[in-house]
């Protein structure tokens, strides 16, 4: 009995698992045909299919014919007979047999062509959306811009994607009417173009550079982000929700035009943010919301937004720009990235929203390691303590007066935060910033938060302003160039006075100090030494010939 119960339990569990897997896998109505729908921006979008007519198919392969169309559901007949003012077709008796039936519906659809057929598909789509509980609506989420419906019966299908297509005002409809054959799988390309967003970053501090997909900036720099989308076709909607949702990493902070942090809030005022539609300023109709570095620009109804000197047209560019600062977190969260997507109305009959494929922008920072060494201090594998440096963007060294005045009038100095062997670039006005660093005997000095650029690269200069006791100070600065070779990945090379940097990752800047030699003084041991040496040479000149003569006499 126990074995019997266990076997029965196992069979029931297996049956349930099998039935669940079939339900999750199948997207059909019990047939043996498939329909594949493709689209240029269809990835992750829902596609729906509803059978309107059953059909008989004769023939195989590409040689087949359809006939015997019969409405697949009585609710379709309601759609055909309902008056146009209520969203139906308003169909009347087509064959004069005294009633409106399947034959009349088939004859009506058969008579439609071009735009009339497109308008009919759009009307049928709207009817199904508002009466979805009355129909068997099949649903597939597209992957790689393709959605496949399996196990379909032969027939005539209404196929449509989720709403929100950008399209244009003359596109007619997103809906398609498709004959699904028996032996030859159907494939249709949908014309819908869903909202997308493109994000660029301008890493020039003044915003005068060229926006790009990725960039590099120094900690404390202010960069400008640009978000670009397009006005969707809103003709089927009473109201249309549209919003940019931008999430910044810890290495970025939204700032105002003065470079100051902006407090979180709903409906905030942000003077560094601009919004245009079709190149014209948007004067009202949107709110700006900021929460934990998530920035939202929200149109609760894009149709009611007001632009300067004109009206909103489908396909017009919606452009948002704002500023953000590279923070100290960019040295550990590298690259500093942010991801944006747009959220939009996707069904005229309810308040559901769709989302675009996200677009990401990366901002890279770089680090160097300063290895101060001397031959008598362990060589290049050792570390020489006591050398004081400044890091600058200027090849000209500061004067003694500028150094004494804490570099107030010296342009180009890079202020740092840190101690010991670890420093990073300081943000503007950051407390605790230092103007120089001193090498230690315990390791290289790491400086992070630097920027690079594509050819010819970004150049920094190490100026030695004080040498360790017993060593000579460097005469010339050390030129360090950070060249980005692949902006898509942030790959960069670092050169030191024209030579590739050494160490792990080729980021080490080797700087040698020469041992100092004390110059001789008048009357000092140096003069005595020279005198002794001179006497020795003279004596040698006298004695050597005598020894040679005595030897010859022997």
DSSP 238: S
Mean pLDDT of 319-344: 95
- Cα–Cα distance measured from residue 129 to residue 111, given in angstroms and rounded to the nearest whole number: 25
Q: Is 253 left (phi over 0), alpha (psi -120 to 50) or beta?
A: beta
C-alpha separations of 510 from 196, 446, 479, 497 in Å: 48, 12, 11, 10
- Of the chain, the end-to-end C-alpha distance in Å amounts to 131
Average pLDDT score over residue span 397-414:
95
| Euclidean distance between CA atoms 160 and 418, whole angstroms | 59
Inter-residue contact 387 to 472 (CB < 8 Å): no
Q: What are the tens digits of pLDDT across the range 139-163?
A: 999 999 999 999 999 999 999 988 8
Give the Cα-Cα-Cα angle 340, 346, 347 (nearest 5 degrees): 165
Could you tell me the pTM of the whole model? Answer: 0.79
* Element spanning 246, H or E: strand 242-248
In percent, the amount of the chain with pLDDT more than 90 equals 65
pLDDT score of 464 more than 90: yes
For residue 527, the SS3 value is: helix
Q: How big is the chain, counted in residues?
A: 554
Query: 553 versus 176: which is more confidently predicted?
Result: 176
Sole residue written with tokens 């339900």 = 23
Domains along the chain? Answer: 26-189 (2.60.40), 198-330 (2.60.40.740), 366-512 (2.60.40.10)
- Which pLDDT score, from 0 to 100, does residue 80 have? 97
Residue 452, classified by CB atoms within 10 Å of its CB into exposed (0-12), middle (13-18) or buried (19+), is buried
How do residues 38-89 score in pLDDT, each as one tens digit? 988 888 889 999 999 999 887 766 677 788 899 999 999 999 999 999 999 9
- Distance (Å, whole) CA 501 – CA 13: 64
């Amino acid at each position: 009995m126990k074995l019997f119960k266990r076997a029965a339990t196992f069979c029931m569990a297996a049956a349930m698992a099998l039935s669940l897997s079939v339900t999750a896998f199948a997207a059909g109505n019990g047939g043996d045909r498939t329909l594949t729908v493709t689209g240029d921006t269809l990835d992750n979008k829902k596609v729906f299919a509803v059978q309107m007519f059953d059909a008989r198919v004769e023939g195989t392969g590409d040689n087949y014919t359809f006939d015997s169309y019969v409405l697949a559901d009585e609710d379709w007949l309601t759609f055909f007979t309902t008056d146009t003012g209520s969203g139906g077709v308003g169909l009347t008796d087509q064959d004069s047999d005294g009633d409106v039936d399947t034959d009349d519906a088939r004859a009506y659809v058969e008579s439609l062509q071009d735009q009339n057929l497109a308008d009919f598909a759009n009307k049928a789509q709207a009817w199904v959306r508002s009466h979805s509980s009355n129909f068997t609506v099949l649903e597939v989420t597209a992957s790689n811009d393709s959605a496949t419906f399996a196990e379909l019966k032969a027939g005539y299908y209404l196929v449509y994607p989720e709403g929100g297509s950008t399209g244009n005002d003359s596109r007619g409809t997103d809906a398609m009417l498709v004959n699904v054959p028996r032996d030859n799988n159907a494939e249709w390309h949908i014309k819908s173009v869903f909202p997308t967003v493109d994000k660029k970053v301008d890493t020039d501090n003044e915003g005068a550079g060229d926006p790009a997909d990725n960039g590099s900036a120094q900690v404390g720099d202010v960069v400008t982000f640009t978000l670009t989308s397009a006005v969707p076709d809103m003709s089927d909607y009473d109201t249309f929700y549209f919003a940019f949702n931008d999430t910044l990493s810890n290495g970025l902070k939204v700032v105002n035009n003065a470079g100051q942090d902006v407090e979180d809030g709903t409906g905030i005022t942000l003077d560094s943010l601009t919004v245009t539609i079709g190149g014209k300023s948007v004067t009202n109709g949107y709110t700006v919301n900021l929460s934990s570095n998530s920035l939202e620009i929200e149109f609760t109804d894009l149709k009611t937004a007001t632009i300067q000197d004109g009206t909103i047209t489908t396909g017009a560019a919606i452009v948002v720009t704002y500023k953000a600062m590279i923070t100290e977190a960019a040295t550990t969260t590298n690259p500093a990235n942010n991801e944006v997507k747009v959220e939009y109305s996707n069904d005229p009959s309810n308040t559901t929203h769709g989302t675009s494929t996200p677009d990401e922008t990366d901002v890279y920072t770089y680090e160097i390691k300063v290895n101060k060494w001397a031959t008598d201090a362990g060589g290049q594998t050792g570390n020489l303590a006591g050398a004081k440096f400044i890091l600058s963007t200027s090849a000209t060294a500061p004067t003694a007066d500028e150094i004494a005045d804490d570099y107030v009038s010296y342009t180009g100095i890079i202020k740092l935060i840190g101690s010991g062997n670890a420093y990073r670039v300081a943000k503007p006005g950051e407390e605790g910033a230092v103007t120089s660093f001193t090498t230690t005997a315990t390791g290289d000095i790491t400086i992070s938060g630097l920027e690079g650029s594509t050819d010819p690269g970004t150049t920094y200069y190490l100026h030695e302003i004080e040498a360790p006791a017993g060593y000579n100070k460097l005469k010339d600065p050390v030129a360090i160039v950070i060249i980005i070779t692949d902006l898509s990945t942030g790959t960069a090379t670092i050169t030191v006075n024209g030579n590739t940097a050494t160490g792990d990752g080729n980021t080490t800047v080797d700087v040698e100090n020469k041992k100092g030699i004390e110059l001789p003084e008048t009357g000092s041991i140096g003069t005595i030494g020279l005198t002794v040496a001179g006497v020795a040479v003279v004596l040698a000149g006298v004695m050597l010939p005598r020894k040679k003569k005595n030897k010859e006499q022997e």
